[in-house]
Structure 1
Amino acid sequence: MCADPTTAGPAGAEGGYGESLFEPWKPGEGERIDLGSLAYDHVTRARLRALGVGPNTRCLDVGAGTGTVARWLAGEAAAADVLAVDRDVRFLEPYAGGTLRILAADITAPDFDPGRFDLVHARFVLMHLPDSRRLIARLRDLLVPGGHLVLGDAIDLTTAGPPDTPYRLAMRAMWQALRASIGTDVSWTPDYPHLLRELGLSEVAAEVHVPPLTEGSPIASFWLDTWARSREAMLATGLLGAAQLAEAQEALATGTAADLSPGLVTAWGRRR
């Protein structure tokens, strides 16, 4: 899972990712990110393999988080050069070396220009940042002609309608709390293919992966930890009470939620 927090969220938000929630210095935050990686890395690796990542590929991994994708690119995929970027690189520094380089940077900064690449990848990054459409265009501009832009973010499959189970109420409260506190917005992520086409990319396509909410699964553990870290913000929305949140947590922990997790939508295209 990747995370590139910005210095400020959209208007009305209290702060960016990693400031008012999911602070990287708090115990267990790296482990929480790794749970997401366990749920989704195999999907990301398969997509990057299908796009031909290999020994001649110069890669930029934006919002590299704990570095699981960047390390795979530099290791098993044997990419020629991998630059892993995050605003906070404490989880990345132990892995620097070989073809893996580390850069502490804010991708929203006007002077962010780390070079040109055959692959630019960002996962669970743009949904947390303001003006995501402009940032997508900036990432496209970091590609050499023929290079691939691969972007992934959460897609909400659970909150649009009934039944109003404790699990769905908790997910609604979580998304509302994240938007109010750090500016997270997943309402636009289904439009990824259209956005990439509008930016002039060719060979545009997209896919969605939804991991099952089974007892003890990485994704169930990820959401349980995420809810625990955002508990007060979730309850402050007024969309559910403490008892309902406890019911939702019990359903996730025991594999009885009988619902869909938010998924990962991955979209890609080639620069002409």
Structure 2
Amino acid sequence: MADTGPSPDGAGSPGEGRYGERVFRPDQGGEGDRIDLGALTYDDTTMARLRALGAGPGWTCLEVGAGTGTVARRLLEEAGVAEVLAVDRDVRFLAAHPVTGLTVLQADVTDDDFTPGPFRLVHARFVLMHLPSPQHMVARLSRLLAPGGVLVVSDAVDLTTASAPDTPYTRAVRAMWQGLRDTIGTDVTQVPRYPELLREAGLESVAAEIHVPPLQPGSPISRFWADTWERARGAMVGTGLVDDAQLDEAVRHLASPGCAGLSPGMLTAWGWKRDGRRTQV
């Protein structure tokens, strides 16, 4: 679900580990299923936005941190784009589901020599929040656009946890964000700045939207968070904000009809590279 991320260097400070190493390792049984739960939650929203932006026949696309490849395949099979380059640091899930027009590349998008392109669409979902400098990555990804191309970036945004009443669910969410920040540098506090970062990168007609899926017992998003907490249990308990018993209680609460929390959502921002002929909308 993500490409990379930045051992803890002190309580409360960003970690220097990487997504897929300290937590969410692709070789850990069931990790692909966890990613697919996120896809079940967000893919329809993502595809609706990409289609609304014009993704279709003739488009060449770069899918960054492609995960299990659900968006890459839907771009080809539903939107009818010409080709998709799907990139991830570990491509085992991508390679398991080849389709015509899909090229799989094992690479680290933070490397200076990562310079494919240009592309009509560059898309990164749940990637930048795990990297040390979203501003740097937005600028880098924007340089991979063809004239008239569009960069679309999506990441988690948490609208209520900091101010919401204490419940088993909200305590677990706070521990998750802190534990992931301490361990691999995940930082969702910068996500609301994405439209600004796109403008700073020189892109035009910048806009953004937020989708917040409902928490319902047994829903893909509720199962996604429960599985995520289990895989990040060590990092979460390590914060001191929850212990194992409280985390178990939070999982039970998440699966109960009494859970009335608001899930972290997905903020999607996009901007166009000037094509010298017209302004994109």
Match of 2:166 in 1: 164
Q: Aligned equivalents of 2:118 and 2:15: distance in 1?
A: 33
1:18 to 16, 20, 44: 20
Q: Secondary structure at the match of 2:209?
A: strand
Q: Aligned equivalents of 1:72 and 1:151: distance in 2?
A: 17
User: 1:23 is matched by which residue type in structure 2?
Assistant: R
Q: Aligned equivalents of 1:162 and 1:45: distance in 2?
A: 31
Residue 204 (str. 1) matches residue 203 (str. 2) = no
Residue 4 (str. 1) matches residue 3 (str. 2) = yes
1:244 to 239, 243, 246: 246
1:99 to 71, 89, 101: 101
1:173 to 146, 170, 175: 175
Cα deviation for residue 255 of structure 1 reads: 3.6
Q: Aligned equivalents of 1:13 and 1:61: distance in 2?
A: 26
Cα deviation for residue 9 of structure 1 reads: 9.0
Q: Aligned equivalents of 1:170 and 1:68: distance in 2?
A: 28
Match of 2:187 in 1: 185
Q: Secondary structure at the match of 2:78?
A: coil
- Quick check: 1:120–1:148 contact (8 Å CA) kept in 2? yes
1:85 to 84, 87, 92: 87
User: 2:181 is matched by which residue type in structure 1?
Assistant: R
Match of 2:120 in 1: 118
Q: Aligned equivalents of 2:95 and 2:8: distance in 1?
A: 26
Q: Can you give the 5+ residue segments of structure 1 that lack an aligned partner in the other structure? A: none
User: 2:88 is matched by which residue type in structure 1?
Assistant: D
Deviates further, 249-258 or 68-77: 249-258
Deviating above 3 A after TM superposition, structure 1's stretches of 4 or more consecutive aligned residues are 6-12
Normalized against structure 2, the TM-score is what? 0.93
User: 1:261 is matched by which residue type in structure 2?
Assistant: S
Cα deviation for residue 6 of structure 1 reads: 4.7
Cα deviation for residue 135 of structure 1 reads: 0.8
Q: Aligned equivalents of 2:93 and 2:8: distance in 1?
A: 23
Match of 2:278 in 1: none
Residue 217 (str. 1) matches residue 219 (str. 2) = yes
Instruction: Note the alpha carbon deviations across 1:195-245, whole angstroms, 9 max, x for none.
Output: 112222111110100100001000000000000111121111111233322
Match of 2:266 in 1: 264
- Quick check: 2:14–2:186 contact (8 Å CA) kept in 1? no
Match of 1:60 in 2: 62
Cα deviation for residue 76 of structure 1 reads: 1.3
Match of 1:69 in 2: 71
User: 1:52 is matched by which residue type in structure 2?
Assistant: G
- Quick check: 2:64–2:123 contact (8 Å CA) kept in 1? yes
Q: Can you give the 5+ residue segments of structure 2 that lack an aligned partner in the other structure? A: 275-281
Match of 2:277 in 1: none
Deviates further, 144-153 or 72-81: 72-81
- Quick check: 2:6–2:131 contact (8 Å CA) kept in 1? no
Match of 2:34 in 1: 32
Normalized against structure 1, the TM-score is what? 0.96
- Quick check: 1:9–1:130 contact (8 Å CA) kept in 2? no
Number of aligned residues:
271
User: 2:125 is matched by which residue type in structure 1?
Assistant: R
What's the Cα RMSD here? 1.6
